[in-house]
Homo-oligomer: A and B are copies of this chain.
Amino acid sequence: MTERLVEVKALDAALQRFTRARHWEQYHSPKNLAMALTGEVGELVEIFQWLTEEQSRSVAQNPETAEAVRDELADVLIYLVELASALGVDLNEAINAKLVKNALKYPADPAA
């Protein structure tokens, strides 16, 4: 039984309408979407690259970076959802399966 951990169907549908209305389907192969995802992650990383770990905690409160970081997080999620959709992968199922693997790979500290 799969727990409901994430729900992205409404976003997936919105993105499909957006793409179709612009005739972009031809560009949105999984290979290309994986590249676009890379590009957005690169833009996200650039916000953090010269900051200390401590400074990085207030990026979303800092007026100079607050909007940019929200936009880049959104862009990463947009391409991730488009890529999963183009591949026919259910992200909720994929997450559930991966969390089980992670729990086996990294057992919790019994003293915790």
Chain A residues close to B by CB (< 8 Å):
3-8, 10-11, 14, 18, 20-23, 27, 29-32, 34-54, 56-57, 59-61, 69-71, 73-78, 80-81, 83-84, 86-89, 91, 93-95, 97-99, 101-103, 106, 108-109, 112
Contact = CB atoms under 8 A, between A and B. Distances in A.
Contact of A60 (B57, B89, B103): B89
Contact of A31 (B18, B48, B73): B48
A38 to B, nearest CB: 5
B80 A56 contact: no
20 contacts: A3-B10, A6-B10, A6-B77, A21-B108, A22-B108, A22-B109, A23-B112, A27-B50, A29-B56, A30-B56, A31-B51, A34-B45, A34-B48, A35-B35, A39-B46, A40-B42, A42-B45, A71-B101, A73-B94, A74-B91
A39 B35 contact: no
Taken together, the copies of this chain in the complex come to 4
A84 B89 CA distance: 23
